[in-house]
Every structure is written in structure tokens, then in C-alpha cells.
A and B are shown apart, each in its own frame.
Chain A
Amino acid sequence: MEVLVATAIGVLTAGGVYLLLRLRTFPVILGLALLSYAVNVFLFASGRFAIDMPPILSKYDTTSYTDPLPQALVLTAIVISFGMTAVLVMVALGAFLVADSDRIDGDDGDADDEGAAR
């Protein structure tokens, strides 16, 4: 299972980094989404792998339990990355509608001395 999860994290991260380095906003947003999936699985793995174990202590039973903290961290990370992706989509859409270009490096011929719009 370790090999499977490690490979999955690696592939997700590699794909995310590749897409992040594209020049248009849509692939970049997809890349950030892939990266956040990778980091969620990675955080989950930081609590060690355990199968069929509850994340809580039981006083009636002697079964062992798995670390609950990474699960809480993953939940927080999912919520934050979801919200941030939504914000990014809105900002990118706004920029596309205003600037009529979805290039992310801002370099489509306009010189940098045009002055900020005020």
C-alpha cells in the first residue's frame, strides 16, 4: 500500500507542477487542484497507514486506534483549498473579462510602463 500511495502522491504532484507552469489560467487552476489533492493524501499518510481502525479511543475494547490529528488536518486543508480555488476561479474570470486575455504571465505585448489603471 505504501508504494501505491507514494506513487499516487508523486504522480499527482508531478502533474500539478507541470500544469502550474503553463501560461493560461485554466491549466494553472487544474494544476493547483491536483497539488491540493496530492497534499491532502500526503497529510493523511503522515499519520501512518492503518486499516480498519477507528480514529478514537475506546474504553470498552482493547483494539488499537489510528491517529486522529492528520484527519482533522486534512479536513481543514480540504476546506481551505476548496475555498481558495473558488476565489482563484472568480479572480481569474474577472481578470479575463477585464483584460480579454487569460495569460498568467501578463506578457502579451503590453509594455510595463503603461501605468496602473487608476
Chain B
Amino acid sequence: MNHWIIVPVVLPALLAPLLGFVMRHDITLARVASVAGTVALVAVAVGLTMVAVDGQTHIYRLGDWPAPFGIVLVLDRLSAMMVLLTSILALIVLLHAVATNWDARGRHFHALFQFQLMGICGAFLTGDIFNLFVFFEVLLIASYGLMIHSGGRARMRAGVQYVVMNLAGSTLFLFALGTLYASTGTLNIADLADKVQDIPIEDAALVRVAAILLMIVFAVKAALFPVQFWLPATYSNAPAPVAALFAIMTKVGAYAILRVHTVVFGPGAEAVEGLPGTWLFPAAIVTIAVGAFGVLGARRLLPLVAFAVVGSMGTLLVAVAAFSPQATAAALYYMLHSTFAAAGLFLIADLVVTRRRVDTLVAVPQTLQNGLFAALFFAAAIGMAGMPPLSGFLGKLLILDALRGPSEMIWAWSAILAGSLLTIVGFARAGSMLFWKSTTVPAAASVEAEEVSSPMLPAGVAEVAPTMAVLALLAALAIFAGPVFNYVDDTATQLFDRAGYISAVIGSGGEE
């Protein structure tokens, strides 16, 4: 067994209590340890991706119990890619939080951050659906702390809503797991995939209920219509670096749908044939519309970005809903892109809003470095809206190309294209109001609001560098689209090879 597979879970899990108990009085020490741990996580994730690229499914048996009886961690191309994506995003967000001093505005930022990483990496790596629930709870309880980091009236109230929403979701998750266990007698994903295939259609009622319950639970995480309403309030009230990290949390929901509803309830399982796609597709179309109209109607910058995230999740899940290898490859490419695009927008929004002191989309006197922020916002908005030359354009093109079926093409194409147009209009309006009209407002207009607080310093290199890094990654995704697409294409093929997954997990008992 390759023991490195469990490192992305164990490393943050060991680091977090140290940060919380030993280093809580020394912010410099905590910063150094937290950044060092995240750099190590990136290194491990790169190593694991090199291991997974051979196309095999690697198994880590916890306690060396064989698969259906013990919990296994599964490293394949998909989970390796997601762990790598998480670690790179985490490093960028962490550097931004340190540079902008967000981590010192409340307590235990770094400990909660590492617990969050532990939960996310664990959710991507686990091969057991109850263990997935446990890691969901780990990442959620850390996210509750991060969400209300540094407090404030609006943030605390949004935090309560977020906690209640997710507790209700967790309860639903448990109901789904109970139903699934009662009808199949197992909770291991590979074993479930094996058992669900053998269930005849006339005995499938409970399994179908469980499949849809699980989809609702994952849809809550992925902010899919009609359970997307928590996202704009949460993301726009969370500290902006935390919202940037949350860009990966919606992808945890999308990943869970991909993993569970492809491997367990995917094509070929007679009991639930076509059921997930039937419900997912219209919900994703409406999600795109909600996101686009939200972007158009937002009166504040952070909700605008949050609605753009909702729209991008809709686009992603439209491709997932096809449940075909080609569409899934496109979805995975778009998932890489939209994670970085959303995080980049939140980071640049943080830089802008901190200096403007309000995040309403009205003209106020222009800030220092207006041109620099305008250029960064322009680039990130291009990425999010899906205009060339950044990778959003390629991602949307791949998705459109994959959805050519007669029943889905008209809906998917019109929703994605019209949604993109509305998003562009919304971002253009916001950008011109923030950066362009502000140049016409005389600086003395709002002096009385400014004099109580200290004057704003221009952003240093360290503050802008993480945002630049995200934009560079978006450009790199576009430039190296060929190799990246080859990787996600093989990933999708591996994901749909259900027999290979089952035999790798279940049949690996006597390997060593």
C-alpha cells in the first residue's frame, strides 16, 4: 500500500490542533507553520497526481481491513486532480489572507483553515459513502468557524442561516444513507455499485428514493436550484478570502454527484436507469438562469460574484447531467477553470472593497491604483464570463460541443449562451461603475466618512500577487489546454469504467 494516499488528510489534521493550541498567541509562527503545511500539501498532491496518472485505481485500506468491511481511501485520476486543485487554491487563498491581514482579524483562522483542508481532501479521497458524510461534517464545521471569522452583524446572521441550512442537509444525508443501507446492506461505494446493478427494476423503489435523496443533499452543497438560495447570502457575507476558498466547496458537491451518481447509480444500473440525469438537467438549466439574472440584478459587488458562482455551477452541472464520458471530461475541465475564476474574483473583490470601504455598486471617489484593480477585475471577469482568451471560453466550448443530443442541445445551448451574455453585461456594468464612473467623482465628496479611519495604503506586491497567480493559472489552463484536456479525458474514461473501479477496490484483498 502507498501510505502517501492518507497524507492529505493526516497532515492538516495534525497541523490544525498544533496551530490551535500551541501557536495561538503568535500569529507569525502560525502563519509560517500554516503556509509551510499548505506548501507541503501541494507537494504531496503533485506527487499523488504523478502516481495516479498511470490510470490505475490505488487503494489505501485503513487498518488493513479488506474493502467491503473496512473503510478504504481511493486514489484515482479524479480524486488526485481534485486534491491537487484544493491544495493549489488553498495556498493562494492562504497567502492572500496573510498578506491582507485577514487572518489576524479573528482568532484561530489558521487552525480552522487546516481543518477545512482536511475535510475537503478526505471527501475527495474516501471510497466509503458514510465516511464521505463524516468528512462533509468535518469540512462544514470548519467552514462555520471560517464563515463567521472576525464577526460583525450581517456576517453572524448569515452564518446562522448557513449553519441551519447545512444541518438540515446533513440530516437528509443520514436519511439517504439509512435508506441505501436498508436496501443494499453496504456503504462502500464500489460494493454499492456492484449491488445496485443486481437489483431488479421491480424492487428498486427504495434505491431510487435513496439516489434522489443523495442528489438533493449534494445539490445543497453544489448550490443547485431550488436549494441554491443559501449561497449568495453566505458567500457575500463571508470574509472574502474564505469565500474564495469556498469556491472549492461547491465543487465538493459536484464531485460527489459525479462519483456517486456515475459509479453507483450511473449508466447501466437498471434500477435507477436515467433517473439522476432526468432531474439534474432541468435543475441545472434553471440554476444558470438564476445565476445570470442575479449577476444582472446585484446591487453589491460580492453578491454579484456569488451569483456568478451559482451560474458557473449550473453550467458545470448541465455537463455532468449528461452522464457521458465526453460531457464529463468537459465538465472536469470547466470545474478546474471555474474554481480558479471564482476564487480570483473574490480575491480581487476583496482588494477593491477593502479600499472603497463599501461594496455597493455606486460611484465613489476612485481609490489608489484604480487602473491596476480595473485591469485585474477585467481579466477575472473575462475568465468567469467565458470570453477568450482565458480558459472559461474553452471550458464552455467543450461543454457545448459535448451536448449535441437532440433533446438537450436546444436547452443547454440557449441557457449557456444567453447566461453568458447576461453575465458579461452584468460584469461590464459593475466594472464601469466601480472603476470608470468613480474617476468622475471628486475626492472630497465623502470625506466625512473617511476621516475616522486610517488612510488606505496602496496594495503591495504581496497583496496583489495571489490574485495575479490565479489569473496566471487561468491563462495557463488555456495555453496548456491540450495536455490538461488529455488528462481530464482519461479521467472521465476511468470514472465510467465501473468494473475496473469495483475490481480494484473489492478485489485487492490479497495484493500485499
Mark A residues whose CB is within 8 Å of B. 16, 20, 25, 28, 32, 35-36, 39, 42-43, 45-48, 69-70, 73, 76-77, 80-81, 83-85, 87-88, 91-92, 94-95, 98-99, 101, 104-106, 112-118
Top 7 closest pairs, chain A to chain B, by CB: A117-B152, A95-B156, A46-B182, A46-B178, A39-B174, A43-B178, A35-B171
Taking the nearest CB of chain A, how far is it from the CB of B481, in angstroms?
36
Given contacts A39-B171, A117-B152, whether A46 and B236 have CB atoms under 8 Å apart is no
Does B357 interact with chain A (Cβ within 8 Å)?
A: yes
Interface string of B157-184 (1 = CB under 8 A from A): 1111101100110110011011101100
Contact present for B141 and A84 (CB under 8 Å): yes
> Across the interface, do B151 and A28 meet the contact criterion of CB distance under 8 Å?
no
Chain B residue contacts of A92, Cβ below 8 A: 160, 163
The residue of chain B having its C-beta at the shortest distance from the C-beta of A44 within the complex is B178
Interface string of B73-88 (1 = CB under 8 A from A): 0000000000000000
- Contact A91-B160, Cβ < 8 Å, known A39-B178, A83-B141: yes
Q: Could you tell me the dominant secondary structure of chain A's interface residues? A: helix
Given A32-B164, A43-B178, A88-B163, 20 further pairs, Cβ under 8 A: A32-B167, A35-B168, A36-B171, A39-B171, A43-B174, A73-B181, A76-B130, A77-B174, A80-B134, A81-B167, A88-B160, A88-B164, A91-B163, A94-B151, A98-B151, A99-B153, A104-B160, A116-B154, A116-B155, A116-B359
Cβ A87 vs Cβ B141 within 8 A: yes
Task: Find the residue from A47, A76, A80, A104 having the highest chain B CB count within 10 A.
Answer: A80
A91 cross-chain contacts in B, Cβ below 8 A: 144, 148, 156, 159-160, 163
Cβ contacts under 8 Å, B179 to chain A = 46
Point out the residues of chain B lying under 8 angstroms from A87, CB to CB: 141, 144, 163
A73, B141: Cβ atoms closer than 8 Å: no
In contact, A99 and B156 (Cβ under 8 angstroms): yes
Q: Are A116 and B167 in contact (CB under 8 A)?
A: no
Q: Are A99 and B177 in contact (CB under 8 A)?
A: no
The answer to whether B368 has its CB under 8 Å from any CB of chain A is no
DSSP majority for the B interface?
A: helix
A20 CA to B167 CA in the complex, in Å?
11
Instruction: Map CB proximity to A onto B40-83 as digits: 1 under 8 Å, 0 otherwise.
Output: 00000000000000000000000000000000000000000000
Q: Mark B105-147, 1 if CB is under 8 A from A, else 0.
A: 0000000000000000000000000100010010001001000
Quick one: given A88-B163, A91-B144, A106-B158, are A98 and B152 in contact (CB under 8 Å)? yes
With both chains docked as a complex, state the minimum distance between the C-beta of B71 and any C-beta of chain A, in angstroms: 11
Give the residues in chain B near A118, CB-CB below 8 Å: 152, 353-354, 357
Residues on the A chain within 8 Å of B178, using CB: 39, 42-43, 45-46, 70, 73
Indicate whether A20 sits within 8 Å of B156 (C-beta atoms), given known contacts A46-B182, A113-B360. Answer: no
A8 CB, min distance to chain B CBs, angstroms: 15
Q: Which residues of B contact A88 (CB under 8 A)?
A: 160, 163-164, 167
B233 within 8 A of A: yes
Proximity bits, B234-251, A CB within 8 Å = 1, else 0 = 001100000000000000
A contact residues around B151 at 8 Å (CB): 94, 98
**A25, B160: Cβ atoms closer than 8 Å:** yes
What are 7 A-B pairs with beta-carbon distances under 8 A? Answer: A20-B164, A32-B168, A43-B181, A84-B137, A94-B156, A113-B360, A115-B300
For residue B332, CB closer than 8 A to chain A, the reply is no
- B144: A residues at CB distance < 8 A: 87, 91
Cα–Cα, bound, A77→B178 (Å):
11
Most chain A beta carbons < 10 A, residue from B161, B167, B181, B187: B167
Q: Would you give the shortest CB distance from A110 to chain B, in whole angstroms? A: 8
> B437 in the interface, Cβ–Cβ < 8 Å?
no
For A114, the chain B residues whose CB sits under 8 A away are 154
